[in-house]
Amino acid sequence: MRSLFGEDLKRRVREATEIVDLIRSYGVELKRAGRNWKGLCPFHQEKTPSFNVNPEGQYYKCFGCGKSGDVFSFVMAHERVEFPDALRMLAERANIRVEVDPAAVAQAKKDGDWKSYLYRLNRSAAAYYREQLQGGEGERARAYLKRRGISEEMWETFGLGYAPASGNGLVRRLQAQRAPVKALERAGLVGLREDGTPYDYFRDRLMFPICDQQGREIGFGGRVLEEGEPKYLNTRETILFSKGRSIYGLHLAREAIVEQRRAVLVEGYTDVIVSHQFGFRNVVAALGTAVTADHTRVLRRMADEVDVLLDSDAAGENAAERSLTVFFQEALPARVVRLPGAAKDPCDFLLAFGREKFAEALRERQELFDFKFARVARTHDLSKPDGIAKAAKELMDLVSLAPDPVRRAAFRREVAARLNLPEHELRFAQPVKVAVAQGEGGVEEVSQPEHSLAHAEREVLRWLFHQPAWILTTVGEVDLTGFAGVSERLIAKALLAAVDAGRLPPQAPDLTPDSHSLSGLVAREVLAGLEPEADLFAGKVLDEGDLERARAVCVALAEEGPKFARLKPEELFEMLLTALRRERLEHELSEAKRAVAAARARGDASELEAAERREQDLQMTLLRASKAWPRRPRRMAAT
């Protein structure tokens, strides 16, 4: 997606913002520590300073919690905003006028016009469903709502409606307004028969409009009134609606969540509605029982903690455990709330026992780890060695998901204490991330290379960060644009863009040419180019997570120099290039073997012959090259 802001604006804002002054303006006390500045991390609690700021590279890194980035990353993390808002805030701080890219504005207007039309269609559909709820055909739906104890005030507040059983009422209404069938289908409001004629997607269902945070209808949930499957039916995925990102009732709960800094997450539509009816305005629901990382990221912007209150049956227990994994991965504090008694869900409980009992249940919250341990203790016999071993593995699998090394270490001590095991015997599961740099407060965490070729590519980049005088030589020897790792290719392309613009290699005669001073300057230019290069990355749809991982790798490369630093630069350069060439050939050979297997499975004789020839050629090339290469160096620590 093309950025609305020109690259010149981003660069001017970045260059006008001194990172030490910016971070100090947020109340972080920084003290000089050599070339860097150091202070207590603003993103986690600590007593010993582990938050480092590099003014030459214009980046920060905390060795305690692993957070790192540039001026934009800092504002995004501290203010809990997205990049466009961070850019505007920093531009205003630097008295720089914000201008947008006209071509991007034109495309955004085109996209926005289409989305606006789909919003209008959904709004018309919601109005139609509300009308039907009040009409003759809506009698059974009204009776159901009354049996559930939902007041008419809540019907109006949440925009409840009814989709008639006829299956063509909404189609006729919207086509009378000249809505194209294609648009109705794109909005998820209709389905198409084999002959192409449309029919209402929702039929004979109580309708719950699903809104975005601005209160605009983006989709619907429909509940059957009699027996039937599925019991609940949601709008199909559209450009407006995604089940994994949408949170029911958030537009009504947002103010209360921000005020209390706490959200209560329940399972169903009626659970949310009745909770609001009884005055619990910070209650929302994931659509279905599956909590996703996107849900937690939305809630984190408003809440400091989340209470997970799911149904008290087996499905609810299992859903709470699945939620546990996501909350651990996203490091969002969360607790489990259990409802006492026979009432299955919050709606039934509130109607049976009232507001005070519900408030009391919310106060009796259980930490997620305690909830998990209780589940494990019920599943495994902790009086026997096999049961203890299985429990330890299950608990450590969960603990290993925590991104903060301090929290992981604390939870491991807790597992050891509860199972009466030596802490050193407990192993973390295969990590998603690996530690790469030791500091006073712990370790920084950076995504592991995707494969051995990406590892070799990363080591070449590390060399260039610390020996930028070799950049032009390396460009003549290696195709950096063809790097296979996502983070590695993003960094390489940003580095090449800085070379083309004349900003690299750095010209810094006034600097002492030590490795870390130069690497900071390289990191500054690469960080500045990562976002525009992400827009140009071919063959993969990139998201903010890819950029965050690349930024973290960039900072780590600048902070830790190459191994074998005692070798002469020429020797180390040749060693790195040899490792890269070997890994690239082996990577191509692996791809060729997969192509052979695929052709054989398809039974394509000509394709199989070509694939086998390619495999044989690569094997011979690798064999000949291996004889000319020096001895394989010891593997360097992965970053």
Extract the tokens encoding 289. 């029982």
Which of the pair, 508 or 335, is modelled with greater confidence?
335
Q: What per-residue confidence (pLDDT) applies to 544?
A: 62
* pLDDT above 50: residue 557: yes
- Segment 224-249 shows an average pLDDT of 90
Q: What per-residue confidence (pLDDT) applies to 432?
A: 40
Give the pLDDT confidence of 240-271 residue by residue, as tens digits.
998 888 999 999 999 999 899 999 999 889 99
Q: What are phi and psi of 415, to 5 degrees?
A: -60, -45
- Segment 443-461 shows an average pLDDT of 76
Q: What per-residue confidence (pLDDT) applies to 509?
A: 45
* pLDDT above 80: residue 538: no
Reported confidence tier of residue 499, pLDDT bands at 50, 70, 90: confident
Which of the pair, 443 or 578, is modelled with greater confidence?
578
- Segment 131-153 shows an average pLDDT of 95
CA 553 to chain centre: 17
Reported confidence tier of residue 51, pLDDT bands at 50, 70, 90: very high
Reported confidence tier of residue 550, pLDDT bands at 50, 70, 90: confident
Residue 98 DSSP label:
-
Helix (H) or strand (E) holding 489: helix 486-500
Amino acid sitting at position 139: E
Q: Please state which of the ranges 113-122, 391-400, 542-551, 590-599 shows the lowest mean pLDDT.
A: 542-551
Integer Cα distance of 60 and 81 in angstroms: 18
Between helices 269-277 and 346-363, what is the axis angle to 10°?
60
Integer Cα distance of 580 and 569 in angstroms: 16
Reported confidence tier of residue 135, pLDDT bands at 50, 70, 90: very high
Integer Cα distance of 241 and 572 in angstroms: 52
Integer Cα distance of 631 and 6 in angstroms: 48
State the sign of the Cα–Cα–Cα–Cα dihedral 415, 416, 420, 424.
positive
Give the pLDDT confidence of 398-432 residue by residue, as tens digits.
888 887 777 888 899 999 999 999 988 888 764 44
Exposure of 482 by Cβ count < 10 A (0-12 exposed, 13-18 middle, 19+ buried)?
exposed
Amino acid sitting at position 195: D
Which of the pair, 30 or 590, is modelled with greater confidence?
30
What are the b/e assignments for 365-383, b being 16+ CB within 10 Å?
bbebbebbbebbeeebebe
Q: What are phi and psi of 473, to 5 degrees?
A: -65, -45
Q: What per-residue confidence (pLDDT) applies to 350?
A: 95
Contact 467, 505 (CB under 8 A): no
* pLDDT above 90: residue 611: no
Q: What per-residue confidence (pLDDT) applies to 138?
A: 95
Degrees (nearest 5) of the Cα angle 104, 107, 108?
85
* pLDDT above 70: residue 143: yes
What share of the chain in percent tops pLDDT 90? 37
Degrees (nearest 5) of the Cα angle 186, 188, 194?
80
State the average pLDDT for the chain: 83
Reported confidence tier of residue 111, pLDDT bands at 50, 70, 90: low
What share of the chain in percent tops pLDDT 70? 85
- Segment 43-63 shows an average pLDDT of 87
* pLDDT above 60: residue 99: yes
Q: What per-residue confidence (pLDDT) applies to 262?
A: 95
Give the pLDDT confidence of 271-330 residue by residue, as tens digits.
999 999 999 999 999 986 578 888 888 898 889 899 998 666 666 677 677 777 888 888
Integer Cα distance of 451 and 435 in angstroms: 17
* pLDDT above 50: residue 115: yes
Amino acid sitting at position 254: R
Q: Give the global pTM.
A: 0.57
Which of the pair, 98 or 16, is modelled with greater confidence?
16
Using alpha carbons, select from 364, 365, 420, 423 the residue that is nearest to residue 396. 423
Give the pLDDT confidence of 182-215 residue by residue, as tens digits.
899 999 999 998 888 999 999 999 999 999 988 9
Q: What per-residue confidence (pLDDT) applies to 312?
A: 63
* pLDDT above 60: residue 535: no
